Amino acid sequence: MPKDLKRTALYPWHKEHGGQMIEFAGWEMPVAYQQGILEEHLSTRKFGGLFDISHMGRFLIGGEDAVPFMQSVLTNNVMALDPGVAQYTLIQNERGGAMDDAYLYRLEKGDPFLKANYLLVVNAANAKKDWDWFLDHKKRFRNLLIEDRTDEIGMLALQGPQTKRVLEKILLEDPTKLPDPWRNRLKVCEIEGEHVYVTLSRTGYTGEPICFELFLPANKMRMIWEKILEVGEESIVPVGLGARDTLRLEAGLPLYGHELGLDSQGKEIPIYAVPSAARLAMSFSLLKGEFIGKEALRSQFEEVTARESGKPLPPREKQRVPKRIFPITITGQGIARQGYEVLVKGEMVGHVTSGTMVPYWVFSDRGVLSTLTEERKMRSIALAYIDADLKEGQSVEILHREKRLQGVIVERHLSGEAPPYARPILIQGPKRKEVPAGSLKDLTERLVHRAVENTYWRQAETINLIPSETTPSLLVRLLSISDPSGRYAEHRLMKAFKETDVFYYQGTKLIGEVEILVAEELRRFIGCSEVEARVISGQMANTAVFSGIVDYLNRLDRRSEPRRIRKVMNHHLGRGGHLSAQPMGALKDFIANDPMTERPATIPFPVLKEDLYRIDLLKAQELIGEHKPELIVLGKSMVIYKEPLREIANIIATMNPKPILLYDMAHVLGLIGPYFQEPLQEGADIVTGSTHKTFFGPQRGVISSNMSEGTGYEELWETIVRRVFPGSVSNHHLGTMVGLLLAAYEMNAYRLDYQKAIITNAKAFARFLKEQGLTVEGDPNVGYTETHQVIVRVGYGRGPLMAERLEENNIIVNYQSAPDDEAFTAASCLRMGVQEMTRFGMKEDDFAQLADYMSQVVLHDRPVAKEISQFRKRFTEMKYCLPEGEAQSMVEKLLEAII
């Protein structure tokens, strides 16, 4: 090897531990260690790999002109980055080609490298070229600091499913010091016992969903490297450049000189020919202004968009993006290598850019409970730069000399959407469940048998702790299937008839009476003047409210394209927020895109570092003042505390215009009252909810407010009502509306006794679980919970397994991702609610017994299914409704009428 090669601070360690050193981009680096590339690849996927990546270029960028400079020389929108967030980006030329791909990190306050605000990491092979390019363009920016800190700042990558556990062990403070559990977040951390500050980011180049990169002083690298390997000695292995390449190839990530740069013919690969790069790294935000290569890139984008939408394209010789990068799986024998020709029906369509044989672990086929087995296999995969008109599923041939390898274009080789593991995506036909066959009678008998069997099991043998459901009383269930079920009763208020409710169908007098009574009972329960009960779910309730708000915002201009809600503050889905209040949920069609971030304009509530279940009100006040949201949505699905409704209402009281304050009480609607919260009295403008969680009803929704005539919001309420009908429902499920009326009667009759019992039982259950040795989430000073919910932490990623184990023992719970989990598949918690079993008569001492049973299952894996079945027999008569003796004659009448 040449003598003038550069070496990282870990070079001596690599040599001492069997690193196979090679020359790479002017550096002497380990391609592999003694166990070899395949084992390093597999170990990363199963446990974790530690990579020395200090050969990559690291440039600090700061000064007043830092943002304008980067907006010009990088493809992404730098202004989208908040402190503590990173983004993938490209360094582009005037022709729309990539000079390099890079990662840009906006550093936090307190970062040890905060001489500048930004850190840009570039590829080692291009570092000199990139540096010269930046210096050449720096001349136009007077107040710009740019420094090459490659030698001073070390860089490690720690990638794989067990790496989070390792980092938690070596951090000086609580594990919550880790960056937030979402891609591209970073945070300054201190390593325990070493007093070394490390900038830790959730980024990587392996496709692993649990991934970290560490920036630290170069002279501390060996100490931290060895500490990580010591703590992770049973699982974490050092990994060289060889496995780093096979891992990135399996993940479909581009490499400069292969998928970026020049193709095998020496022609420049357009950026938009690399979908994975363009999708993440390109921005045409107005905030960028003019930037290098803008027109060329815009032309590429327009052509790619036209191709995907089926619009006419220019002749092939004039196309900007005639080819693109596709993943290919080799279905026969052989290995595809860079430069091999790709054929379709005998004609060449392009060349392989990267290809090899990679190992993978076989997973057990059990859905969310699937785990790695000890079985390993090999597969041949590639990336290829081929005709852009080809589609997924297209068969191809790869030519090497006279040999033809059979392959197929696939969507991707690897999935990282189910942490903690990255999972191989293999070519295989969909597995079809066996469909029962037989006569109508046979099929009916089977269906009835299964329904009866399930009903007996759920109602007589199991303890139901799902916090988002409850069993209605028998009379409510029977009323819900009585004759109005399946009928139509569309109606609306008509000013022409003096505000009379006009029905469009005959035979609707009963439902007309019921709806009036339902509204009155709900007004009484919620403490409001206005109720809309025709929505058939809490999700629909929120959708109607969001739609009504958009309609209201556009009331003065009906000719222009309607604008959406400018900004919304809500709970992050990963922190327990309702799905219906997210851009991927009911909010999707009503929220604007933030021109700064180019993403839906939601601002998540900040949470306290010491309690991730509580809103940080001081920071929330700052964010409200900064962003001035038009809508604030309180309410969560993982809810163990009262919402700071009065405090938020006070914060926004003097704002003009004042945000609309919505409290989505889906889970806690049945708790409205003195033992929990009285939302409209505490400052909410609108309350939505589901009628089947803590409320006694069948599955429906409700919208309520005090937006009556003369309040200033009367017009908004009218638009919300219009967005319910005709905007959301036609047949609003009349049978369950009748059932809802009786449920509302029951709630108003028993609310105080029921609500007191709920809160008492939840606190007792949490206390008893804690005494049994389980880890209960929440503040012990308030009894761990202020609602019906209790949350127990059972170990990282073990939530689904424990939920399944409990179900096998007749205890039904909901696995739940904790606020510091990456996704529901890595759920650490169980979420439970006491509402249903409280209604079936369970009291504090009974929940103590249940806590003991649960601890036996969770902590000791002891079977208790028979004991639970016997235990449940004590709790089959429903409370907080008409006693069975009084209800019996009415049950018989309904059954006679229905049958």
* Buried/exposed code over 801-820 (b: 16+ C-beta within 10 A; e: otherwise): bbbebbeebbbbbbbbbbbb
Distance between terminal CA atoms of the chain? Answer: 90
Q: How would residue 217 be classed by pLDDT, with cut points 50, 70 and 90?
A: very high
- DSSP letter, residue 596: T
- 850 pLDDT more than 70: yes
CA–CA separation, 119 vs 112, rounded Å?
A: 12
CA–CA separation, 41 vs 681, rounded Å?
A: 59
Q: How would residue 436 be classed by pLDDT, with cut points 50, 70 and 90?
A: confident
Q: How would residue 114 be classed by pLDDT, with cut points 50, 70 and 90?
A: low
Q: What's the pLDDT score for residue 712?
A: 86
Q: What is the pLDDT of residues 333-351, one digit of tens each?
A: 999 999 999 999 999 999 9
CA–CA separation, 68 vs 825, rounded Å?
A: 40
CA–CA separation, 878 vs 736, rounded Å?
A: 19
Out of 109-118, 124-133, 390-399, least confident range: 109-118
Q: Cα 616 to the chain's mean position, in Å?
A: 21
11-250 belongs to CATH 3.30.950.10: no
How far is residue 854 from each of residues 225, 547, 813, measured CA to CA in Å? 41, 44, 11
Residues 569 and 627 sit within 8 Å (Cβ to Cβ): yes
Tell which phi-psi region holds residue 673, choosing left (phi > 0), alpha (psi between -120 and 50) or beta.
Answer: left
In the structure encoding, which two tokens stand for residue 85, read together? 């967030």
CA–CA separation, 353 vs 339, rounded Å?
A: 6
The whole-model pTM stands at: 0.94
Average pLDDT, the chain: 95
Whose structure tokens read 């989070």?
Answer: 164
CA–CA separation, 327 vs 349, rounded Å?
A: 14
Q: Hey, what amino acid is at 259?
A: E
Residues 382 and 330 sit within 8 Å (Cβ to Cβ): yes
CA–CA separation, 79 vs 67, rounded Å?
A: 7
Residues 486 and 735 sit within 8 Å (Cβ to Cβ): yes
Q: Right CATH number for 322-425 from 3.30.70.100, 2.40.30.110, 1.10.10.10, 3.10.310.40?
A: 2.40.30.110
CA–CA separation, 242 vs 40, rounded Å?
A: 9
For the sheet containing 145-148, what is the strand order? 85-92, 98-106, 118-122, 57-62, 145-148
Q: What is the mean pLDDT of residues 134-157?
A: 97
Residue 456 backbone phi and psi in degrees, to 5: -60, -45
Q: What is the mean pLDDT of residues 674-701?
A: 98
Q: Cα 379 to the chain's mean position, in Å?
A: 30
In the structure encoding, which two tokens stand for residue 490, read together? 């569309």
- 175 pLDDT more than 60: no
The DSSP-derived string for 19-86 is -EEEEETTEEEEEE-TT-HHHHHHHHHHTEEEEE-TTSEEEEEESTTHHHHHHHHBSS-GGGPPTTEE
For residue 703, the surrounding DSSP H or E stretch is strand 701-705
Tell which phi-psi region holds residue 254, choosing left (phi > 0), alpha (psi between -120 and 50) or beta.
Answer: beta
- DSSP letter, residue 486: T
Which residues, other chains included, contact 183 with Cβ-Cβ below 8 Å and sequence gap of 6+? 202, 203
Which residues, other chains included, contact 43 with Cβ-Cβ below 8 Å and sequence gap of 6+? 35, 49, 160, 235, 237, 239
CA–CA separation, 320 vs 301, rounded Å?
A: 9
Q: What's the pLDDT score for residue 846?
A: 99
For the sheet containing 789-793, what is the strand order? 775-776, 789-793, 829-833, 814-816
Residues 644 and 761 sit within 8 Å (Cβ to Cβ): no
Q: What's the pLDDT score for residue 500?
A: 75
Of 665, 609, 674, 602, the closest CA to residue 639 belongs to: 665
For residue 807, the surrounding DSSP H or E stretch is helix 799-808
Q: What percent of the chain has pLDDT over 90?
A: 90
Residues 51 and 70 sit within 8 Å (Cβ to Cβ): no
Q: Hey, what amino acid is at 764?
A: A
Residues 216 and 196 sit within 8 Å (Cβ to Cβ): yes
Q: What percent of the chain has pLDDT over 70?
A: 98
What's the alpha-carbon Rg for the chain, to the nearest Å?
Answer: 31
Q: What sign does the CA torsion over 641, 647, 653, 657 have?
A: negative
- 497 pLDDT more than 70: no
Residues 93 and 292 sit within 8 Å (Cβ to Cβ): yes
Q: What's the pLDDT score for residue 434?
A: 81
491-744 has which CATH code?
A: 3.40.640.10
Domain ranges of the chain: 11-250, 322-425, 491-744
CA–CA separation, 330 vs 651, rounded Å?
A: 60
Residue 141 backbone phi and psi in degrees, to 5: -125, 110
The better pLDDT of the pair 367, 103 is held by 103
CB atoms near residue 485 (< 10 Å): 16
Q: What is the mean pLDDT of residues 149-169?
A: 96
Residue 30 backbone phi and psi in degrees, to 5: -80, 125
Pairing between β-strand 186-191 and β-strand 403-409 as defined by DSSP bridges: unpaired
CA–CA separation, 318 vs 420, rounded Å?
A: 45
Residue 747 backbone phi and psi in degrees, to 5: -60, -45
CA–CA separation, 389 vs 687, rounded Å?
A: 51
- 478 pLDDT more than 60: yes
Q: What's the pLDDT score for residue 666?
A: 97
- 430 pLDDT more than 70: no
Q: Cα 228 to the chain's mean position, in Å?
A: 29
Q: Hey, what amino acid is at 645?
A: L
Q: What's the pLDDT score for residue 502?
A: 84
Q: What is the mean pLDDT of residues 18-27?
A: 97
- 722 pLDDT more than 80: yes
Q: How would residue 281 be classed by pLDDT, with cut points 50, 70 and 90?
A: very high
CB atoms near residue 552 (< 10 Å): 18
Q: How would residue 670 be classed by pLDDT, with cut points 50, 70 and 90?
A: very high
Q: Cα 687 to the chain's mean position, in Å?
A: 25
Q: What is the mean pLDDT of residues 760-780?
A: 99
The DSSP-derived string for 194-246 is TTEEEEEES--SS--SSEEEEEEEGGGHHHHHHHHHHHTTTTEEEE-HHHHHH
Out of 393-407, 462-476, 797-811, least confident range: 393-407
Q: What's the pLDDT score for residue 109?
A: 78
Q: Hey, what amino acid is at 515?
A: E
Whose structure tokens read 């710009």?
Answer: 144
Residues 159 and 51 sit within 8 Å (Cβ to Cβ): yes
Q: What's the pLDDT score for residue 428?
A: 78
Residue 661 backbone phi and psi in degrees, to 5: -105, 110
Q: Cα 564 to the chain's mean position, in Å?
A: 23
